[in-house]
């Protein structure tokens, strides 16, 4: 059943305090290899996180970099409406689109947001996968905006995996969450399809180097 009207508003109202309560049971460890927490506010980044690690991102962003202004690329689907409203509770804006729906428009909007002084957060294999496959839109945005890419990653000492296309991960209460910021990675300009694909694979493989539990 799709959530609409008062049901959607109720779900969002309940989801926010539930996520915050859940996060309070967890132990967080920060591995800031990129120096992201201390990065100048005027230096913008495109943050990438695999879709199955998305659950805690709004909380982690507010916990470690509360002063940075961020916008997230969120699916244009009806389910994406729910997520957009939820992340707004954490002070994160949303641009609606994906690689499959409204993709080109979303890339232009995100480039405008970067020029306006905001970081961008993207799940480059979402919203439909394949899991751990980086979409071309991420490379296009980095090239167009000439903005470095930051890898955001989380590993869990204990978790549940949903029966979804990406085996979406939920950390078990009282487990440890290791938050990793890795980068900053600069994307080269390309002039041929083969150069573009090589750059895409380079970035994808570098992101996968952080994944311990697939």
| pLDDT tier at 213, thresholds 50, 70, 90 | confident
8 Å CB contact between 125 and 49:
no
Percent with pLDDT over 90 in the chain: 71
pLDDT value, residue 2: 44
Model confidence, pTM? 0.89
Is 170 strand, coil or helix? strand
CA angle, corner 11, sides to 8 and 13, nearest 5?
110
Identify the residue whose tokens are 């996060």.
Answer: 23
Number of neighbours of residue 28 by Cβ within 10 angstroms: 15
Determine the pLDDT at residue 17: 86
pLDDT for position 79: 67
Tokens of 92: 């994160």
Mean pLDDT computed over 33-40: 97
Where do the structural domains in the chain lie, given as residue ranges? Answer: 5-208
Instruction: State the pLDDT confidence band at 3, using cuts at 50, 70 and 90.
Output: very low
* Contact residues for 33 (Cβ-Cβ < 8 A; gap 6+): 180, 181, 182, 183
Beta bridge partners of 182: 151
Name the nearest CA neighbour of 17 among 91, 89, 94.
Answer: 89
Q: Is the pLDDT of residue 1 over 60?
A: no
Distance of CA 72 to the CA centre of its chain: 7
């Amino acid at each position: 059943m799709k959530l609409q009207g008062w049901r959607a508003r109720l779900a969002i109202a309940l989801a926010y305090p539930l996520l915050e309560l859940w996060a309070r049971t967890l132990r967080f460890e920060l591995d800031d290899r990129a120096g992201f927490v201390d990065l100048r506010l005027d230096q913008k980044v495109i943050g990438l996180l695999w879709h199955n690690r998305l659950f805690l991102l709004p909380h982690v962003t507010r916990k470690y970099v509360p002063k940075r202004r961020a916008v997230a690329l969120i699916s244009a689907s009806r389910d994406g409406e729910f997520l957009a409203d939820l992340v707004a509770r954490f002070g994160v804006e949303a641009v609606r689109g994906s690689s499959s729906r409204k993709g080109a428009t979303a890339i232009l909007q995100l480039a405008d947001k970067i020029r306006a002084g905001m970081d961008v957060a993207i799940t480059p294999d979402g919203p439909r996968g394949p899991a751990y496959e980086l979409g071309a839109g991420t490379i296009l945005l980095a090239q167009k905006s000439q903005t470095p890419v930051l890898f955001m990653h989380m590993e869990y000492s204990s978790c549940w995996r949903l029966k979804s296309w990406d085996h979406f991960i939920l950390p078990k209460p009282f487990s440890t969450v290791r938050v990793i910021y890795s980068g900053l990675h600069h994307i080269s300009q390309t002039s041929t399809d083969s150069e573009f694909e090589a750059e895409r694979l380079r970035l994808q493989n570098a992101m996968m180097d952080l994944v311990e539990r697939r």
